[in-house]
């Protein structure tokens, strides 16, 4: 088996490797991607820490800044949410995107399982869109509530989902209208970067993280994957999260043939850090 570890690390094309090797998924490849500990985080709370390379500074993630061409392809940078996600657009979201979102959701649920109580769990999916992440979590045995600001997205999600999923429409820049302390886990896939659009984005983020913390049980955790436009945005998100949570920022590759993705794995601290 060690020989496969060596070959995966040296092979330039992971897609080719995936095609030729029936062993790809059965090898436990050590992930040497970076991980950053938020202030006051007790390393013993993070069981997968040793799979990563600890960095003392977020800039060591070497997150690239988006160029103008890249910005044009990013819905959150193009325009108003309701203009971007029309009913037509919501219905168009295709099976390729579904594969990527499912891989990210599985990775995210893997972290969740690693951290706490056994399945099934009650999970809140923030920025659920057409429910790709919500349905994927439900297929893994969880009871899931998806929330989103956009009516067309939620309509599509609701039309496709099983009875393990429920949805409602709400703007997560405002406190989330949910009873406190009931969710085992909160997840969000490709959503957090939508909160950094306003001039007052740090305050929006802080309100958001505080609200998420309120929804969680004391033992609960929040795991989010997001696409930053530059390193400054990541630092802003991590700083806002650090006011409320402990945890880690990490980079990993949930789909073999796609690039590294950023994840925040956040836990409630024993002692409250900040109250909104």
Ligand X SMILES: C[S@@+](CC[C@H](N)C(=O)[O-])C[C@H]1O[C@@H](n2cnc3c(N)ncnc32)[C@H](O)[C@@H]1O
Q: Which residues bind ligand X (CB under 6 A)?
A: 81, 85, 101, 127-130, 132-133, 148-150, 153, 171-173, 189-191, 194
- Classify strands 183-189 and 122-126 as parallel, antiparallel or unpaired: parallel
Bridge partners (DSSP) listed for residue 185: 123, 221
Q: Which is nearer to ligand X, 132 or 262 (CB)?
A: 132
User: What are the backbone dihedrals phi and psi of residue 262, each rounded to the nearest 5 degrees, phi first?
Assistant: -95, 135
Q: Which is nearer to ligand X, 148 or 233 (CB)?
A: 148
* Smallest distance from ligand X to CB 72, Å: 16
* Smallest distance from ligand X to CB 125, Å: 7
* Smallest distance from ligand X to CB 165, Å: 12
Helices 132-139 and 151-160 sit at what angle, rounded to 10 degrees?
A: 30
Helix ranges restricted to H, 140-273? 151-160, 201-215, 231-242
Q: Which is nearer to ligand X, 49 or 81 (CB)?
A: 81
Q: Which is nearer to ligand X, 46 or 240 (CB)?
A: 240
Q: Which is nearer to ligand X, 153 or 205 (CB)?
A: 153
The beta strands (E) that lie in 12-79 are given as 34-37, 53-54
* Smallest distance from ligand X to CB 82, Å: 8
Separation of CA 149 from chain center:
17
Q: Which is nearer to ligand X, 104 or 115 (CB)?
A: 104
* Smallest distance from ligand X to CB 190, Å: 4
Separation of CA 189 from chain center:
4
Q: Which is nearer to ligand X, 37 or 121 (CB)?
A: 121
Q: Which is nearer to ligand X, 85 or 167 (CB)?
A: 85
* Smallest distance from ligand X to CB 175, Å: 12
Report the SS3 class of residue 6: helix
* Smallest distance from ligand X to CB 5, Å: 31
Cα–Cα dist 182/31, whole Å: 33
- Of 221, 232, 226, 148, nearest to 190 (Cα)? 226
- Report the half-sphere exposure of 211 (CA within 13 A, side-chain side): 17
Bridge partners (DSSP) listed for residue 165: 144
* Smallest distance from ligand X to CB 110, Å: 16
Exposure class string for 128-143: b at 16+ Cβ within 10 A, else e: bbbbbbbbbbbebebb
Task: Answer yes or no: are the C-beta atoms of 187 and 123 closer than 8 Å.
Answer: yes
- Compute the Cα dihedral for 14, 73, 262, 192 and give only its sign: negative
């Amino acid at each position: 088996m060690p020989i496969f570890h060596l070959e995966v690390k040296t092979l330039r094309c992971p897609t080719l490797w995936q095609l030729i090797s029936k062993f790809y998924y059965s090898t436990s490849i050590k992930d040497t991607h970076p991980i950053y500990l938020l202030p006051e985080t007790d390393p013993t709370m993070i069981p997968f820490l040793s799979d990563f390379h600890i960095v003392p500074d977020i800039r060591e993630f070497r997150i690239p800044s988006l160029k103008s061409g890249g910005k044009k392809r990013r819905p959150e940078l193009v325009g108003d949410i309701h203009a971007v996600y029309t009913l037509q657009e919501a219905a168009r979201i295709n099976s390729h995107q579904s594969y990527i979102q499912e891989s990210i959701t599985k990775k995210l649920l893997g972290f969740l399982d690693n951290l706490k109580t056994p399945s099934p769990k009650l999970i809140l999916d923030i920025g659920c869109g057409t429910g790709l992440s919500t349905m994927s979590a439900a297929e893994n045995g969880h009871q899931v509530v998806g929330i989103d600001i956009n009516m067309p997205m939620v309509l599509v999600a609701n039309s496709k989902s099983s009875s393990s999923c429920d949805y409602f429409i709400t703007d997560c820049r405002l406190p989330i209208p949910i009873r406190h302390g009931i969710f085992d886990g909160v997840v969000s896939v490709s959503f957090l970067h939508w909160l950094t659009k306003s001039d007052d984005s740090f305050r929006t983020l802080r309100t958001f993280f505080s609200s998420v913390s309120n929804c969680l049980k004391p033992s609960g955790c929040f795991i989010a994957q997001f696409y930053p436009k530059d390193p400054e945005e990541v630092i802003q998100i991590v700083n806002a999260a650090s006011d409320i949570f402990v945890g880690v920022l990490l980079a990993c590759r949930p789909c073999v043939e796609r690039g590294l993705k950023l994840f925040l794995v956040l836990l409630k601290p024993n002692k409250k850090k900040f109250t909104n």
